[in-house]
Amino acid sequence: MTKKMILAVAMAAPLMIALPAAADGDHRAKAIAVIKKDFQPRGQAGLDRLAEDGVQAICNRTGNKPPDYIEKAMTADQLATVKYPADGKLLGDWKEGEKIAQSGRGFTWTDNPGLPVGGNCYNCHKIAPKETSFGTIGPSLYQFGKLRGNTAETQKYAYSKIWNAKAFNLCSEMPRFGHAGALNEKQVKDLVALLLDPESPVNK
């Protein structure tokens, strides 16, 4: 199979969920069938949450280590999904960003659709120094702006990373907040400010 053909298969990966499992036996198909049987849609938590998209499928089937040429093509596609603000401003209010980082609410079946959703950032990262409870799945973001500078390029990177982390690491475990509709443009701006604004406690 040529590289071109393999890439085409990777792009069509969302269809794989509906096909019988091949190389990995039928275990995946059986597991998905059980999940679909037991998962009951409630509120905004629908069955669509069980479906893989192409990125998730290729990462799941390669142990998070897709071939370089596939990863390069697909990360470029993910970067193209980032929606930047029309006004060109990427820095919001760091105080609002801290509230979003602290909040883990939203997107469950008990939450009303349309309500603001939190980022739950402290679940994976150390961010502001006064918060002593934080996860270590992701890297520390303390002094992020102080170390990297508050340049236009750094702002764009931070905004893009929060919007769609898979644009930089295809199999990243970080949620695609903007891409998934979990955070809106203003919320992402506020998180960028939390990380980069010189007045943010993150950079003190």
pLDDT, tens digit (0-9, with 9 covering 90-100), for 71-91: 999 999 999 999 999 999 999
Region 83-104 average pLDDT: 96
pTM given for the model: 0.83
Region 120-142 average pLDDT: 96
| Sole residue written with tokens 């998209």 | 53
Confidence of residue 12 (pLDDT cuts 50, 70, 90): very low
pLDDT reported for residue 25: 54
- Identify the sign of the CA torsion 194, 158, 100, 174: negative
Cα 87 from Cα 45, distance rounded (Å)? 33
State the average pLDDT for the chain.
Answer: 88
| Sole residue written with tokens 């509906």 | 18
| CB of 148 closer than 8 Å to CB of 154 | yes
Q: Which of 51, 67, 48, 68 is nearest to 16 (CA)?
A: 51
| CB of 164 closer than 8 Å to CB of 61 | no
| Sole residue written with tokens 């891409």 | 179
Is the pLDDT at 7 greater than 60? The verdict is: no
Cα 58 from Cα 145, distance rounded (Å)? 33
Compute the C-alpha angle 152/76/14, nearest 5°: 135
Domain boundaries, the chain: 3-69, 94-203
Cα 197 from Cα 152, distance rounded (Å)? 12
Q: Which CATH class for the 94-203 domain?
A: mainly alpha
Is the pLDDT at 6 greater than 60? The verdict is: no
Region 85-112 average pLDDT: 94
Q: What is the pLDDT of residues 42-73, one digit of tens each?
A: 888 888 888 889 999 999 999 999 999 999 99
| CB of 130 closer than 8 Å to CB of 101 | no
Is the pLDDT at 16 greater than 50? The verdict is: no
Region 159-168 average pLDDT: 98
